[in-house]
Amino acid sequence: MRILLKLVIDCDADAAWRALHSPRAVAELYGPLLEVAPMSAGGLPTRFEPGADVPVSIAAAGVPLGDQLIHISDRCVEDSRGPVRILRDSGIPLTGPLAALDVWDHQMAVSPAPGDPSKTLWRDRLAIGGAAAPALWPVLWATWQWRAARIHAMAPTWAHDPEPAPEPTEPA
């Protein structure tokens, strides 16, 4: 079973790519609906690196929902409009209701938006499988709609270079 998102967001593809690798930005995508906390005493890394395994706990309103292992890989492909960067989380739910799934494959692709390279075409695909997938799909679909709204709201804050402050004027 799959859940798909396709959005044009208000930041460039480089900023979106940096946000995908930021544990803080990723955790904020689910907030305040869900809380993502590190399981490691050292906390979350400053950046998700390819090949890294990052265990996290997920809670809603302080109620534990389970633990998840995030495993990141990156790749770049070309489509008819140019480069597409893809981050894949092939980790797995460790505990909680999602651990009943046999398949968890989350891929997020970013590329310059067609006709406007200052914006990003964001594609998000979650594939799940197993006997529990039909029961969990509606909850995950609703969560992905929340993600879409949060991505839209947060994307403008992902810009790397802030607007310069106006020059102070000298008194006459």
pLDDT at 79: 84
pLDDT beyond 90 at 32: no
3-state secondary structure of 124: strand
pLDDT digit string, tens, across residues 86-142: 999 999 999 999 999 999 999 999 999 999 999 999 999 999 999 999 999 999 999
Region label for 118, one of left (φ > 0), alpha (ψ between -120 and 50) or beta (otherwise): alpha
- DSSP H or E run through 146: helix 133-154
| Phi, psi of 109, rounded to the nearest 5 degrees | -115, 135
Question: Cis peptide leading into 32, omega within 30 of 0?
Answer: yes
pLDDT beyond 70 at 171: no
pLDDT beyond 70 at 161: no
pLDDT beyond 80 at 164: no
What dotted CATH number matches 2-157?
3.30.530.20
Domain boundaries of the chain, sorted by first residue: 2-157
